[in-house]
Amino acid sequence: MKLDSIKPDPASSEAKALQLQRIFNTLAPVYDRGNDLLSLGLAKGWRRAAVASFHQNPPGEVLDVACGTGDFVRAILEASPTSKVVGLDFSEEMLRLARTRGYAATFQQGDVLALPFADGRFDAVTVGFGLRNFSDIPKALSEMSRVLKPGGRLIVLEATQPGTSLKKALFKAYQWSVAPLVGWLSGQPDAYRYLMRSMQAMPSAEELERVLAVAGFGNIQKRGFVFDMCVCYETVKGER
């Protein structure tokens, strides 16, 4: 996949954003349960593993992008209770639920393509299972780089397209068997069909690494889960 192939159609970006807001506002009450079912209960452990480095090297201030109802925020605070955490999402319904959970964090609505924060504010930025929903992935990563301090950490946890033909076949079989069941159980079949399509639209792991490099990140550490169907990237702003 070429970099140009994951750039958005500007005419459709605003419409997609509005559609996504409607989808996630609707999904909010069942989103966490659906994620648990889709990941066979493994997603909580993946989030904890993604921020394991925070135990030894706690960041002062962390931005969690596409925070949803706050599951990644919880993992961050468990790993680093002294960190000041800001959760940002464009779905007010997701944020409303996040605010009811009592996490020692600040939650606010915002657009990842125009983050409402000053340059170099944060020591770390995280995004869990949100990258695939951004209409312009390179722009989103560039914004995350902008608000990070030099040497700040970016952690991306995402479902990606596996590299080998066998893994791809297993991934597709899983997607199109489990996801319809979760959609039916949640009463939101159309929304879960969208989520599966968004996974298929993700760039490959190799392409994502190239996009990270263009956005100013280096020293990329990668860890895969379940045949690399979910991958954690930990990378540093400004290091090559």
SS (H, E, C) the chain: CCHHHHCCCHHHHHHHHHHHHHHHHHHHHHHHHHHHHHCCCCHHHHHHHHCCHHHHCCCCEEEEECCCCCHHHHHHHHHCCCCEEEEEECCHHHHHHHHCCCCCEEEEECCHHHCCCCCCCEEEEEEECCHHHCCCHHHHHHHHHHHEEEEEEEEEEEECECCCHHHHHHHHHHHHHHHHHHHHHHCCHHHHHHHHHHHHCCCEHHHHHHHHHHCCEEEEEEEEECCCCEEEEEEEECCC
Calculate ∠ Cα 186-191-192, nearest 5°. 70
Give the confidence band of 159 by pLDDT, cuts at 50, 70, 90.
Answer: confident
- Asked if 134 and 140 touch (Cβ cutoff 8 Å), the reply is yes
Please indicate whether residue 167 or residue 58 has the higher confidence score (pLDDT): 58
pLDDT digits (tens, 9 = 90+) for 76-126: 999 999 999 999 999 999 999 999 999 999 999 999 999 999 999 999 999
Signed CA dihedral, 111, 116, 119, 120: sign only = negative
Q: Is the pLDDT of residue 239 over 80?
A: no
The pLDDT assigned to 4 comes to 36
User: Are the beta carbons of 178 and 37 closer than 8 angstroms?
Assistant: yes
| pLDDT at residue number 37 | 72
Residue 16 burial (CB < 10 Å; 0-12/13-18/19+)?
A: middle
Assigned CATH for 3-237: 3.40.50.150
Determine the pLDDT at residue 100.
96
The reported pLDDT for the residue numbered 180 is 62
**Which pLDDT does position 232 carry in this prediction?**
94
Going by pLDDT thresholds of 50, 70 and 90, the confidence category of residue 2 is: very low
Domain ranges, ordered by start, for the chain: 3-237
